[in-house]
Structure 1
Amino acid sequence: MSTTEAGTGTAVPQQAPGPEGSVLFGALSSFKKDTLKLLVELQRQYGGIARMKMGPYLVHQITQPEHVKHVLQDNARNYVRGRFYRGFNLFFGRGMLTTDGPEWRARRSITQPFFNRTRLRESSGTITDTVEELLARWQKAADKGQDVDITDDMMWLAMGVLGRMLYGVDLRDHADRLMPAVRFSLKAMILTGEVKQMLPRWIPTRYQRRLKHYQGVLNGVMDEIIDLHRSGGGSPGSVVSALLNATHAVTGKPFTQTQIRAELKTLFLAGHETTGCALTWTLYAIAQHENVRAQLDEELQRVLGGRTPTAADLPHLPYLRQVVDETLRMYPPIWLFPRDTVEDDEIGGYHVPAGSTVLVPVYAAHHNAAVWENPEAFDPSRFCPAHQTKTATATGGRAAGRDRYDYFPFGGGARKCIGMDLALLEIQLAVAMITQRFRLHLVSGHPVTPGALVSLRPLPEVLMQIKSVDREAVGA
């Protein structure tokens, strides 16, 4: 994948293939019009690496597993948060998600212990207690024959779990303020080149007034939680207390109010939003596939018999995990990992210049027909170990199954999602409890499509009919 420079004998890496696009904007208009479609088509047309212009920026899309590993793991020091994260600073601030190097390590080291797998399993009762409160709400809706937008309810559930397990408070007490702020921020953080986003902040447009309002809402709620802990009213075992008592490893000073607030916003926005989306998509997929529902019912009845699951039950519920894994393949909540290149690099024999952007689109990689047989079909059995080995043998692939970076819903390398174990634990316990108690049916005339916001949100809503399960019928 290289040419020889005339008269020197020096190999010069080639440019990766890709679309030409318009003279001025390149592929930017296609990206704005239907982001997911563009990313999937780029992968299918150009393979594991594609080069394109997006407005004034040079962008490479990477989906080949070894290339993804190179960017996220092997040469991760050369790939940093960049221009695509500038919009994130509007609401996250300079927290764990938007920083790099020693600054990032200093922040992550404080919160890492709260995501210890053993610690999470020991606290799993908090998750099931919170799910029980959701089931009580849904029982009232079922009794009245009311349809429910499960997206909001899954966010409400994830908010409750996150607050109780990490913040030492119930964030749902602030839900009336937080949820509108989240809905606005999900769109505002994605820089689309719209005029309203590009105008100077000091111009008092309606958009800028709303932006400042919702920034104030998020900051205000986090400040209330911090002040509660400062006054001794919060939990001493919370991440808030840990941040208040910590010394910054870089500066040697205590974390400031602004720094603590940024970490809390990061955990809140990244934590509850992605888990809520994953839960919504999982319930949506189960409702759409009766055969999946039937097999899941059989496993849950055989192992649980209608009782509340515990973390210790999950290894005995392999099909439940396969359903969750397949949902995360089809609808990865974190659908894109953008990076900026620090120094010139070469990927797959192609030149990637310093200062350019690399996109690692999880969604496109998970829908790659060269890796996944019939990728648009929802098929949990593809995550059955026996099925993986059989498929690899039949196709002459790896005997141990697929590559680590064929499937990476939580990223990879040192920046792998800190909340992965909490998310998987919460999703599995919640789905097991909900599926045993209710049957969900998508309301006709309400199509659902994936929205490429900060997370992969179901749009416009996931309106469900909720009916109580006839437990005798299930056990028959």
Structure 2
Amino acid sequence: MKRRATTGDVVEERRAEQAPGPVGSVLFGALSSFRKDTLRLLTELQREYGGVARMKMGPYLVHQVTAPEAVRHILQDNARNYVRGRFYRGFNLFFGRGMLTTDGAEWRTRRAVGRPFFHRAGLRARSDVITGTVEELLASWEPSARSGEPVDITDDMMRLAMGVLGRMLFGVDLRRYADRLLPAVRFSLKAMIITGEVEQLLPRWVPTSYQRSLKRHQRTLNDVMDEIIDLHRRGEGSPDSVVTALLKATHGATGEPFTQRQIRAELKTLFLAGHETTGCALTWTLYAIARHEDVRRALDAELTEVLGGRVPTAEDLDDLPYLRAVVDESLRLYPPIWLFPRDAIADDRVGGYHVPAGSTVLVPVYAAHHNPAVWDNPEAFVPERFCPAQTARPANSRPANSLSACPRSTTDTDADAETEGAPRQRDRYDYFPFGGGARKCIGMDLALLELRLAVAMVVQRYRLELVPGHPVSPTALVSLRPQPGVLLRIGPADRDRTAPSA
């Protein structure tokens, strides 16, 4: 007779199905390493244990997923089994219950209100809003270009992203609130990541300086959003803005209008997620160009050939493949959204391993984008790896003639490559700076449009040079922030606007 399986047999079977991973300390597991250097821990975990790894972080069981088929399973194929979970609890401190932090029908209702504002054709038709905002930034840099004084471009990129977001979506120029908002954003980026520090774990009613700062910055964000909502209620905002749409929206199940608190939560979500990630991406891309003279020359040559110094339009972007490759490579090396956390609702199998209900799954974009099994020389900035597949070169080579750095493709690309630049021979989930599945970042097309237009205009107008002795490193906050900042000298680009010889 066949022996009936016992509870002990089931336990042994589950152990056999466990993903590999570090043991860590008995009490805290990998939590101390996560606090100390998050990016290093996640990258080393991927390289040592592979595409699905298991670890303990304090009292929590965590699985890290970087293998493309496993990432697809979490974000797309079985996405209904994975909710925002415990890692998003800190986000509620500043976002509230908005599109980013909700699931199911509540999320679908909120997403439906915002979706019409992010259609690619509509965004492209209004690209002059982006180029006009960039022109204002470039003009503000003129005194620094004349004096040679270094500029920390991080806040400038955040203000630029605020200006675009406000004019495109909010019906007001958010830069008028920047002096109030920027300090609140800087504080929130740290406060939303729950690291286990004592000041974060104390009850809210304990009157510490941290709690006082937390409440002050929460109040600032709420006050600004309320001012923008009230402005629209008085009819002084744009009738075509997302604020107006939220004021008119109703919940599908109840037919009730959104409350002030619910509208405020959506606006905070669009503001914090929309400007912060794009501002970081712009900062990192300009930093990478300043670090790599050969990339700057190749990009300058393409821009000169196609634009001849004029302001780019959305239609020009199809004729600027190297510009696209530079932006895509920056998003690979420095993904602003560096992590997608989820919690499992029910037991699941991921990459052949058992993932129990209630455990946390981390999908670290940063580690996946730095995987040497997928990316040749992954720590190097090599835009050529994103050239069209039929002309792509090895990632460690760059042609001497920069005009041919990334020839235009003569064939159509698939939908994912068209929106995110991933060559067709790679798996869709080797490269996913905007996530995937139904919850792919709603602002992806706006971000890419803004990045490409802004980078083209900056490189045409100025030459950016790094300040010696000012190291920059990525820090894993809510977004991938450069620390301590990106300090650049700004000079005119005209002095070397000559094409290289063949």
TM-score with structure 1 setting the length: 0.95
Give the Å deviation of 1:19. Answer: 0.3
Does 2:330 align with 1:306?
Answer: no
1:138-287 residue pairs with structure 2 within 5 A? 138-287=141-290
Q: Cα 1:199–1:472, aligned 2, differ >3 Å: closer, same or farther? A: closer
- Residue of structure 1 in register with 2:346 after alignment: 343
1:13-52 residue pairs with structure 2 within 5 A? 14-52=17-55
- Residue of structure 2 in register with 1:429 after alignment: 453
- Residue of structure 1 in register with 2:470 after alignment: 446
Task: Decide whether the 8 Å contact of 2:384 with 2:393 is kept in 1.
Answer: no
Give the Å deviation of 1:384. Answer: 1.1
- Residue of structure 2 in register with 1:325 after alignment: 328
- Residue of structure 1 in register with 2:415 after alignment: none
Task: Decide whether the 8 Å contact of 1:274 with 1:333 is kept in 2.
Answer: yes
Name stretches of at least 5 consecutive residues in structure 2 with no aligned partner: 396-421
Cα offsets for 1:254-285 (capped at 9, x unmatched): 00000000000000000000000000000000
Distance in 2 of aligned mates of 1:47 and 1:125 = 45
Does 2:102 align with 1:78?
Answer: no
Computed over aligned residues only, the root mean square deviation of the Cα atoms, in angstroms, reads 1.9
Task: Decide whether the 8 Å contact of 1:329 with 1:407 is kept in 2.
Answer: yes
Distance in 1 of aligned mates of 2:383 and 2:236 = 45
- Residue of structure 2 in register with 1:94 after alignment: 97
Distance in 2 of aligned mates of 1:240 and 1:93 = 16
Give the Å deviation of 1:140. Answer: 1.6
Task: Decide whether the 8 Å contact of 1:27 with 1:54 is kept in 2.
Answer: yes
Distance in 2 of aligned mates of 1:400 and 1:131 = 32
Cα offsets for 1:84-123 (capped at 9, x unmatched): 0000000000000000000000000000000000000001
Give the Å deviation of 1:386. Answer: 3.1
Give the Å deviation of 1:291. Answer: 0.7
Give the Å deviation of 1:385. Answer: 2.0
Equivalent residue letter for 1:440: L
- Residue of structure 2 in register with 1:419 after alignment: 443
Does 2:358 align with 1:355?
Answer: yes
Cα offsets for 1:350-394 (capped at 9, x unmatched): 1100000000000000000000011011100001123687779xx
Give the Å deviation of 1:250. Answer: 3.1
1:286-301 residue pairs with structure 2 within 5 A? 286-301=289-304
Q: Percent identity?
A: 74
The count of corresponding residues between Structure 1 and Structure 2 is 468
Task: Decide whether the 8 Å contact of 1:106 with 1:250 is kept in 2.
Answer: no
Distance in 1 of aligned mates of 2:7 and 2:92 = 48
Give the Å deviation of 1:5. Answer: 5.8
Distance in 1 of aligned mates of 2:110 and 2:6 = 50
Task: Decide whether the 8 Å contact of 2:389 with 2:424 is kept in 1.
Answer: no
Q: Cα 1:209–1:135, aligned 2, differ >3 Å: closer, same or farther? A: same
Distance in 1 of aligned mates of 2:93 and 2:7 = 51
Distance in 1 of aligned mates of 2:491 and 2:133 = 20
What SS does the corresponding residue of 1:346 show, helix, strand or coil? strand
246-255 or 231-240, which deviates more: 246-255
Distance in 1 of aligned mates of 2:258 and 2:322 = 44
Task: Decide whether the 8 Å contact of 2:389 with 2:425 is kept in 1.
Answer: no
What SS does the corresponding residue of 2:286 show, helix, strand or coil? helix
What SS does the corresponding residue of 1:88 show, helix, strand or coil? helix
Give the Å deviation of 1:473. Answer: 3.8
4-13 or 383-392, which deviates more: 4-13
Equivalent residue for 2:491, pick from 467, 470, 474: 467
Q: Cα 1:399–1:135, aligned 2, differ >3 Å: closer, same or farther? A: closer
Name stretches of at least 5 consecutive residues in structure 1 with no aligned partner: 393-397
Distance in 2 of aligned mates of 1:337 and 1:431 = 27
Task: Decide whether the 8 Å contact of 1:184 with 1:214 is kept in 2.
Answer: yes
TM-score with structure 2 setting the length: 0.91
Distance in 1 of aligned mates of 2:491 and 2:266 = 40
